[in-house]
Amino acid sequence: MNTLANSQIQASYSDGYIFVYMESGVEIKFPVEKNPRLKQGTPEQLNHIEISPFGLHWPDLDEDLSFEGLSRGDFGQFSKV
């Protein structure tokens, strides 16, 4: 699995979008409506983002998205039961 352990990454929520900024200049933006769990979050919950070498985690919403998935346009979904 690819990691970004040595990269500076910032992430935030604003106006219905999650923004990810990497020190390389790469920016990823996606609408929260693309993810069922994020879609249900409040602005405060959506801005409570933990960044790991592998991706983003929203502890208040129990959601994780990998950088690898985001780079492919995979914005997550509920598990199929």
- What are 24-65's pLDDT values in tens digits? 898 999 999 999 999 999 999 999 999 998 999 999 999 999
Given this model, what pLDDT does residue 4 score?
Answer: 52
Encoded tokens for 60: 């208040």
Structural domains of the chain, count? 1
Q: Are 7 and 17 in contact (CB under 8 A)?
A: no
Residue for token pair 């690819």: 2
**Does residue 42 lie within any of the structural domains?**
yes
- Helical H segments across the chain, by residue range: 36-39, 43-47, 67-71
**Does residue 20 lie within any of the structural domains?**
no
Three-class SS state of 11? strand
**Does residue 7 lie within any of the structural domains?**
no
Domain extent, residue 61, equals 32-74
Chain centroid offset of residue 71 CA: 11
**Does residue 56 lie within any of the structural domains?**
yes
